[in-house]
Structures are given as structure tokens and as C-alpha cells.
Chain A
């Protein structure tokens, strides 16, 4: 197997724009085009354009597609209406999180599952194995789509200028097939930035044409190309978990504070039900650690893996950290012992290369947009 990174359909565009590229989950992706802080602020105040073609699309079809996904995933997928989307997870039999997903119901018997790039093969394999006995087909559509995202408060206006689709009727976590700049696209009102925005799934051969059309349509509104670096700080401010950081196979959705995605009341068995029932009880009675936000009082930046300390004792671990452009201070998400997890808890610090830097414990998210 080749270890050469995979290139998206927009690779030539990124290089022409002078992007700094990075290897991400086996893909050569734009990290930033210019200043990552400027890109972050553009998404918060105007609009940003992202290439997210590394995300893993898996199509599920068949008369029992809904029953199958209800069995394979922890959410109640059968209750998702056509044209709507749901944030959900796929867990192991022991309740450990294999990945977090967005599932779009494209039709009565057709769904698109979008997995993280780093887990796409794992999710594909798990779904394929779990489909046994169901009248449903699992199809690897990773190469069938390029994914462009327009995120930020100006994104509805920019997209409206390029499509006749009913964007006002398209709610958050909904998706509809349409045409954008003459290109057939699945238009979804989803994102990973904490802002209003859209994700556009298109055939790779149209990706460049659509990118250019969005760039031109957005120029007057302040839209700029944005890389994965600002995507990470945007999602961190919005308190959104990232697989491999806040979510791992060692944690259940309840450990991650996301037990709400597990729907015990749905019909039939599902993979992980028994273990997750116990995990829900454990999280309710005696949570070992809780996911919290930390805001620095100083300027040194916490990073994933650093210890959270109180009174000279390790009480937790940072899972994600970065300077927050919106708050103007370094921020982090961390799992900490329940005794230190309440917002306002005093005396908490992060061990940054041997120095205990003071941090304030806050509730997540750090940032919530005004609607």
C-alpha cells in the first residue's frame, strides 16, 4: 500500500493559492492559506471557504436501511425525516466510541453516513460487518464526492446568489439536492465551526468550478479560503469534540458528556446497548472524569496530552488546546476529576513544560453565536 498522501480534487487550487499543506489522516490538506487568525475571524464575522474532501462518505440503501442503521449506530436513525440530518456515533460492543458521524437521510431508503477521514475505513468495515442479515447495502462513496463548506454569517447570502434552492426553508441539520452555480450538489446546512453555514457534496469533477464560483460570489462579502488550522480553533471555541482528542474507543458517549446521542428508547437491539446502559448509570452516579473548558489566565498555550493539576496533583488531561482568537486567550478542553469539574473551581492549572499555569474552569462551549 502506498503511503503517498491522497490529493483532493482541489489540490491544484490550494497550490495556486500558496497554501501551507499538511498531512491529515493520509490526505494532503490545506493547513492555512495566510494567517490562520484572519481565517478564523473571517468565519466568525463574514465567511470562509473550506475543502473538506477528506471526509468519508458511505451510502446505505435498501428496504431495511433504517433498521440497519438503528442497529449499527447509537442514534434513532429511523426517526430522521427525509431531507434531515442527525449527529450520531458508532460504538463498539463495549460502548467505546468508534467514530462520531453525521447521517443524512437522502430518501425513504437511502442514507449518507459521513465519517471522519481518520476513521472512514474503520466505519466502513464496521457497517459492512453489521449489515449481515439486513436487506441493506453499504457502499464506499469516498471517491464519489468532493466536499466544500461555506461557513460564517455571510454564507447564506453568498450561496443564495448561486442557487435557486430554498435556503430559507433549509433548517440547521437539513440537506436537500439542488444546483449551485450550475453544479449538481447535495446542499446541507451543517458545519463544524459554531457558525451558520453550508456543506456542499459534489462530484469531484465539479469541485474546482464550484470553488471558483463561490470565491467570486463571496469576494464582496469578505469570503476567504480557510484551512484546517482555523477549522480546529473554530470547533474548539464552539466546544465541539474531535475524534482522537475528546472521543476515543476508551470512552463511551456518556464519558464524553454526549450521552444524549444514545437513544435507548428506539426499537430493537443495537451494538453496544448493554455496555452503554451500564455506562449511562456510571456517568450518572459516579462519573470518573468530566469534559470541561479551561481558559488561561496567562498566555502560554495548553496542548493535547498536557496534565491538568491542582494542589500539585494531576487531576486530568488536556485533550485539545489552542490560542482562541475570539476570546483572546489560550483555551482548552480537558477531562478532569469530577471534584474539580464545576465551573469556577479554583486552583486549577495546566502543567506546561514544568510550569503550572493558572486556568479557569468554565462550562462549554467557549463561544456561542448570536441567532
Chain B
């Protein structure tokens, strides 16, 4: 497993892409997806919702448990990934690609996001 270099990471195991026209994509890491097991249900924030860095904005259910989804940044949700709502297993099979969760117009970024190398060390994988 390797964490893509071009992404940044939160300690709640979300990843954040570099902004394009002010919009970043958010997902959970492969480390987090592996820890959850098979994801069976994803509840995402709705388009237009304001999300706040470090606060919950949805949930992920796996066979054994339910986990809160935290937003790694503050901003307005501009798109939610309907594909992952329809097929939550994308979170397991392609956490950094087709399993992305939502896109957000970022108004504020926390200062403690991690680089890929820092996250790898933090998560141990």
C-alpha cells in the first residue's frame, strides 16, 4: 500500500487533493478502508452543505461497525460521489480514485494536514 504523494492527509484518515479552481476532492485512505472492512453504506454531506474541518459530515458503515466521516477542511460541498453511494465497495477497491467521497470549495484549511510521508509514518502503513 502506498499513499499518493500529491495528496494531503488528516489524522482522521481522510485525504484531500490539491485544489483546482478552489475545489478539492475528499476521500478516506486505504489504511482506513482496510481497517473498516467491507463498506456497505455511505452517507455523504449534501451539495450546498457547509462542512467544517475536524467535524463529522457523514458516516461509513462496514460489516462490523459504523464510523463517522470527518471533513479535513472547511468549505461548501459542491459534489457528492453518487457512484460510491450506489456501490460503497468502491471505498475498499479504489479509495484514492473511484471511491472518492465529495468535492468541496475550500474556504479554510487546517494547518496540521500531513504530507504523504508524514501520514505513512502516522498510520504505520
Contact indicator B41/A300 (Cβ below 8 Å): yes
CB proximity to B under 8 Å, residues A261-300: 299-300
Residues of B within 8 A of A32 (CB): 37
Contact indicator A323/B61 (Cβ below 8 Å): yes
Report the interface size for chain A: residues with CB under 8 A from the other chain.
16
CA distance A20 to B35 in the complex (A): 8
Contact indicator A35/B66 (Cβ below 8 Å): no
CA distance A353 to B92 in the complex (A): 24
CA distance A233 to B38 in the complex (A): 13
Contact indicator B38/A35 (Cβ below 8 Å): yes
Contact indicator A36/B37 (Cβ below 8 Å): yes
List the A residue with the shortest CB-CB distance to B43. Answer: A300
B40 interfacial by beta-carbon distance below 8 Å: yes
CA distance A37 to B66 in the complex (A): 16
Contact indicator A20/B66 (Cβ below 8 Å): no
Residues of A within 8 A of B41 (CB): 299-301, 323, 330
CB proximity to A under 8 Å, residues B30-72: 34, 37-38, 40-41, 43, 61, 63-64, 66
B18 CB to nearest A CB, Å: 31
CB proximity to A under 8 Å, residues B57-90: 61, 63-64, 66, 89
CA distance A177 to B66 in the complex (A): 44
CA distance A31 to B34 in the complex (A): 12
CA distance A78 to B38 in the complex (A): 45
Contact indicator B63/A229 (Cβ below 8 Å): yes
Residues of B within 8 A of A37 (CB): 38, 63, 89
Residues of B within 8 A of A35 (CB): 37-38, 92
A102 interfacial by beta-carbon distance below 8 Å: no
Residues of A within 8 A of B63 (CB): 36-37, 229, 233, 322-323
A333 CB to nearest B CB, Å: 16
List the B residue with the shortest CB-CB distance to A230. Answer: B63
CA distance A353 to B89 in the complex (A): 23
List the A residue with the shortest CB-CB distance to B38. Answer: A37
From B34, B61, B89, B92, contact of A301 by CB (8 A): B61
A235 interfacial by beta-carbon distance below 8 Å: no
CA distance A353 to B40 in the complex (A): 17
A303 interfacial by beta-carbon distance below 8 Å: yes
Complex interface bits, B7-22 against A, C-beta within 8 A gives 1, otherwise 0:
0000000000000000
List the B residue with the shortest CB-CB distance to A40. Answer: B63
CB proximity to B under 8 Å, residues A10-50: 20, 31-32, 35-37
CA distance A32 to B40 in the complex (A): 16
A194 CB to nearest B CB, Å: 17
Contact indicator A36/B66 (Cβ below 8 Å): no
B94 CB to nearest A CB, Å: 14
B93 CB to nearest A CB, Å: 9
CA distance A36 to B35 in the complex (A): 12
Contact indicator B66/A303 (Cβ below 8 Å): yes
B95 CB to nearest A CB, Å: 14
Residues of A within 8 A of B37 (CB): 20, 31-32, 35-36, 229
From A31, A229, A299, A303, contact of B40 by CB (8 A): A299
CB proximity to A under 8 Å, residues B95-123: none
With most chain B CB atoms within 10 A of its CB, the pick from A31, A233, A299, A303 is: A299
Interface residue ranges, A against B (CB under 8 Å) = 20, 31-32, 35-37, 229, 233, 299-301, 303, 322-323, 330, 353
- Other contacts beyond A36-B64, A301-B61: 10, CB < 8 A: A20-B34, A35-B38, A35-B92, A36-B63, A37-B89, A229-B63, A323-B40, A323-B61, A323-B63, A330-B41
11 contacts between A and B (CB under 8 A): A31-B37, A32-B37, A35-B38, A229-B37, A300-B41, A300-B43, A301-B66, A303-B66, A322-B63, A322-B64, A323-B38
Interface residue ranges, B against A (CB under 8 Å) = 34, 37-38, 40-41, 43, 61, 63-64, 66, 89, 92
A-B residue pairs, 7 tightest by C-beta:
A323-B40, A299-B41, A37-B38, A301-B61, A36-B63, A35-B38, A36-B38
